[in-house]
Structure 1
């Protein structure tokens, strides 16, 4: 995940954008920080989903095949 300083800067720029607006440099910085944040979020979400096993009420593994294939690629036997 992003550092607390970067998250604080994202919030600072968002607040400034709503009140007085951003300069071109600040807008570019905001865009880059947002991209970095989304990349980190997506990576974390992907790792979480790849480590999930879905079990139905009868105890059967009903994990989607796409997730099973991703696990095999990540953790080959």
Structure 2
């Protein structure tokens, strides 16, 4: 499945599913690759949200 445009909640859900499967029975090469792509998508999303928050911050002058 292509998660590049999927809602972040779906990405997180799939990351958790793969994590659980990895701990229980292991992942095949394709699943490991999917897991890495999903993690990258999640990290990029967190970074983008943080950037937006930082851009909205205004410094106050000390008086």
- Segments of structure 1 that go 5 or more residues without pairing to the other structure are 62-77
1:50 partnered with 2:55: yes
Which one has more relative contact order, counting CA pairs under 8 Å at least 6 apart? Answer: 2
State the number of aligned residues.
56
Question: How far 1:54 sits from its partner (Å)?
Answer: 3.3
Query: Is 1:10 paired with 2:1?
Result: no
Unaligned segments of structure 2, at least 5 residues: 1-5
- Structure 2 distance, partners of 1:23, 1:45, is 33
Structure 1: distance between partners of 2:10 and 2:56 = 29
Give the C-alpha shift of residue 18 in structure 1. 1.4
Distance in structure 2 (CA, Å) of the matches to 1:49 and 1:18 = 36
Higher Cα radius of gyration: 1
1:33 corresponding residue in structure 2: 38
Whole-angstrom CA distance in 2 between matches of 1:18 and 1:54: 46
Moved over 4 A (4+): none
* Aligned equivalent of 1:74: none
